Amino acid sequence: MLHFPRVYFTIQPMSRETEFFKSCRRIALMGGTFDPIHYGHLAAAEAVLQAYKPQRVLFVPSAAPPHKKNRAVTDAEHRYRMALLATAAHPAFEVSRLELDRPGPSYTVDTVRELRSLCPPAAEIFFIIGADTAEEIKTWKEPETLLALCEVVAVTRPGFKADALARDFKGRVRVLETPAIDISGTEIRRRAAAGESARYRVPPPVAEYIRDHRLYTNRAGIPAGFDFESAKATLADRLSPDRFRHTLGVIEAAEELSARFGADAGKARIAALLHDCAKEYSNGKKRALCQLWNIPTDDILLAQIDLAHSLLSAESAKRDYGVYDGEILQAIRYHTTGHGAMTALDKAVMLADFIEPYREDYPGLGEIRELSRISMEEALVYGITSVIQNNEDRKRLIHPWSKAALKSLTSKA
């Protein structure tokens, strides 16, 4: 299958971003771990932009946050890249490496002090913080110096009582009420680890980055919290009764074939469960998703877009169900056409799709089932040959992957 690798960007030297500071008159600074950056951060930054009209809102990912010692923090470069992806389309948002390129703990007062040295003496600097954590400023390094170097903007949800802030900081902290957006990095990380969607919590490019780099999941390719029964229940709601019954049949057949011929039964169960998760999308949605998800399509796939459902199901298995295991995704991707270098897992899932026990009878089904008791290769040769012949009789195009699969299987059968 064609593959177009994603290249995100290279790291730019810090000196490149200091040019703006030399003429800066008014700037807002938002610091944080951004693990990951989410819509709550962006909404707060936009509110400050509208209220105080800074020339830029500067997002500053921390390198070594002193207040996060009780948990592991995602590698700083990943957090920096996610912040760039989240903010790149906004003309007034920028991401800085001020803390990433400075050794030692990331203290806010040091960052503001450095920013103050880069900007003209009269520049206004706003430091954005959540109102519910503004009280913590008193425990930070050099809080009095921080309040002298910048104006603190405490962003709060409607109904928050700001009297204590006004009293404790004697007017040196501004309070800005913003719409309530209940999103947290902790919840996003939990959802990613459980294979759940973070949709509408983080911008799509950030969600894609988390998926591509398997952030917050184990490295085995399946989320630590992947729940087979929960995924099955989700599909029971999303698929038609007949399609879901077929899915259950493919699971059953794939398990039996794996046990008989030595494929990984656990991976076969997951591949079988998700093999048709995109099957019932409309043709328009299939075409749109191929474009949106950068799935390469050729003339045959475009002419017979339903063939692409296996490619889309593999991508959905990753994006919507949190499965990254390459062997599982390959088995899903080629379960309809086959390909020229099929593994035992590929064969088990494709053959299970042919012979599952709830299949309505079709010419050759009995023969394929009989052959499947002896050899997966012989059964697939019979099945693929029958499909090719049937499609040729109907004047339908045959994908080269199927021909390559038949050629490879014939040489081994």
Domains of the chain: 23-206 (3.40.50.620), 225-412 (1.10.3210.10)
- SS3 assignment, position 152: strand
- pLDDT 10s digits, 236-261: 999 999 999 999 999 999 999 999 99
pLDDT value of position 44? 93
DSSP tag of 137: G
What single-letter amino acid sits at 162?
Answer: A
Residue 50: which residues within 8 A CB-CB, separation 6 or more?
none
| Tokens linked to 191 | 């959802």
Full pLDDT tens readout for the chain, 413 residues: 333 334 445 445 445 566 778 889 999 999 999 999 999 999 999 999 999 999 999 999 998 777 665 567 899 999 999 999 999 999 999 999 989 988 888 889 999 999 999 999 999 999 999 877 777 888 889 988 998 899 999 888 766 666 666 666 666 788 888 877 788 899 999 888 777 778 899 999 999 898 888 888 765 666 656 789 989 999 999 999 999 999 999 999 999 999 999 999 999 999 999 999 999 999 999 999 999 999 999 999 999 999 999 999 999 998 888 888 899 999 999 999 999 999 999 999 999 999 999 998 988 999 999 999 999 999 999 999 999 998 898 888 999 999 999 999 998 65
**What is the strand order of the sheet 173-177 is part of?**
93-95, 56-61, 26-32, 124-130, 151-156, 173-177
For the stretch 147-162, what's the b/e string if a residue is b when 16 or more beta carbons lie within 10 angstroms of its beta carbon?
A: bebbebbbbbeeebeb
Q: Which neighbouring-strand residues pair with 128? A: 30, 153
DSSP tag of 141: S
pLDDT value of position 348? 97
- SS3 assignment, position 28: strand
Cα angle for residues 118, 122, 123 (degrees, 5° grid): 55
Q: How far apart are CA 249 and CA 254, in angstroms?
A: 8
- SS3 assignment, position 395: coil
pLDDT value of position 38? 96
| Tokens linked to 369 | 């089932």
Instruction: Tell me which H or E stretch contains 130.
Output: strand 124-130
Q: How far apart are CA 274 and CA 135, in angstroms?
A: 48
pLDDT value of position 331? 97
Q: How far apart are CA 347 and CA 262, in angstroms?
A: 11
